[in-house]
Chains A and B, each alone.
Chain A
Amino acid sequence: MIVAERKTIEEIKQYILPYKNILLTGCGACVTVCFSGGEKEVGILASQLRLLCKKENREINIIEQTVKRQCEKEFTMELENNLKKVDAVICLACGAGSQFIAKYFPTKPVFPGVNTKFLGGTDEPGLWMENCLLCGDCILDKTGGICPIARCSKSLLNGPCGGSQNGKCEIDKDIDCAWQLIYDRMKLLGREQELETIQPIKDWSKSRDGGPRKIVREDLKL
């Protein structure tokens, strides 16, 4: 899922300075699961902003609304009624969700309340780690299910660099060396010989390097 992290109060405060009526939107999908933008987090931020404004003797009126997911027009439109009552929106959904609001309600200023950080999973409660870089050309079959593009700091495709030590990455001892993990896993699967083949140069045009991507399914268009 997409993992995001709430922006600092300082940044958010700057966004709402000129406004009195705000809609604070949450998303019921990814940001709920990573505890950064779901219904509860909307409640917490709203509470913090109200207390802050009280403290600074500023008038603020915050409406809270969380939809199932913000990146789908059907659900984004559910915000319409409340949007009519406000001057600006702070959106706690990921970058995709925030952009949907801006797209369908272009006259309302939309501010991102979170920094969308990476694609990953909940490794354990309270721990989320990046494991996919959306390269558009998945090679997990070749690396025992561990992605070197996302998990190797240099996105190497042919084994570890000279800085791999004790299974850790040279740039941070808390980061596992992806290639150590891949090697161990392939050994477990009895396939370590496959790592002796030279992986050819990657076609990055399938990734974001080739420009913003899209997928069209004619059979699904109404």
Chain B
Amino acid sequence: MKSNSNLEKLLETGKFVVTGELGPPKSADGETVRKKAQILKGFIDAVNITDNQTAIVRMSSIAAAVIVQEVGIEPVIQVVTRDRNRIAIQSDILGAAALGLKNVLCLTGDHQKFGNHPQSKNVFDIDGIQLIQMLKNMRDEKKFQCGEEIRNGKKEPIVEPKLFLGAAENPFADPLDFRVVRLAKKVSAGADFIQTQPVFDFERFEKWMDMVREKGLHKMTSILAGVMPVKSVKALQYMKNNVPGMSIPDELINRLEKATDPKEERIKICVETIEKLKKTEGIRGVHIMAIEWEEIVPEIVKRAGLIH
């Protein structure tokens, strides 16, 4: 066991895991976090707490994660390299570990141009892959990036953070053949689990999985496929046209536009995708991204037969 986290233990047992996502508020309101966590409790095995997603200032991932932990769900904190240098990141990780947090998702981060503070200086001291490597070394070599041991003094004990490390991968971005190389690099850097961008285009996803399986990567790390129940056809259209790295087939949009009960159809699509993923070799679970629609997660989990 690298971290003894609940997520790690469940994956060890071979269970098909379910993770969720929680976006902290754009304010100092901890109650929102508690409420969202309550909705998800009992339906997911762990919940990602985003880190200033799309470069919009929100309550910090670690702080919100502590609140979530108090409610009784295991968090997965997210760390992006856009806003913090190696000093700040390592420092945050020591704090997170001291607060009992174990799962960390390592990301590069959206460029600040997308957010509400586009004039800020970006950091990118290290990239997503170097971040995984740095945290892995903290855990396994018990050393800081500079090479010093993680101890408060020569006479004090080494207390390294025990982490379960994750990374994200986008099977739908370009260049397609390089995507698998990048995944391999993340795995070799130390990613214990991978969460993918939401799957709407199953055909393209399968192509990526073929390449992943060919390299045996699915055995070296636990891949959790992303799924996203969308709140409206408009939202789906918006993502298709404006969000980079999303592949949304026209048939899907057509299906939703023609549906007699759009809400039901949207849930159905999500559940169907999960069913397909359950049967896909190499997929160890799903990551449900119900952005601003956390209430729907319990229903999806039940209908997809994921409740334990």
Contacts and interface: CB of A to CB of B under 8 A. Distances in A.
A167 interface: yes
A161 to B, nearest CB: 5
Nearest to B183: A159
Contacts of B269: none
A183 B111 contact: no
Interface residues of A, number: 31
A155 B145 CA distance: 19
Contacts of B189: 198
Contact of B244 (A155, A163, A167, A180): A163
B273 interface: no
Tell me what chain A mostly uses at the interface: helix, strand, loop, or mixed. loop
B175 A201 contact: no
Interface string A192-211: 00011011111010000000
B132 to A, nearest CB: 9
B77 interface: no
Contacts of B53: none
A162 B122 CA distance: 18
B233 interface: no
Contacts of A183: 175, 178
Nearest to A167: B174
A180 B108 contact: no
Nearest to A149: B124
Contact of A180 (B122, B129, B133, B174): B174
Contact of B175 (A155, A170, A180, A204): A180
B170 interface: yes
A82 interface: no
A195 B130 contact: no
A73 B143 CA distance: 49
B294 interface: no
Interface of B: 82, 86, 108-111, 113-114, 122, 124-130, 133-134, 145, 168-170, 173-175, 178, 181-182, 184-185, 188-189, 197, 244-245
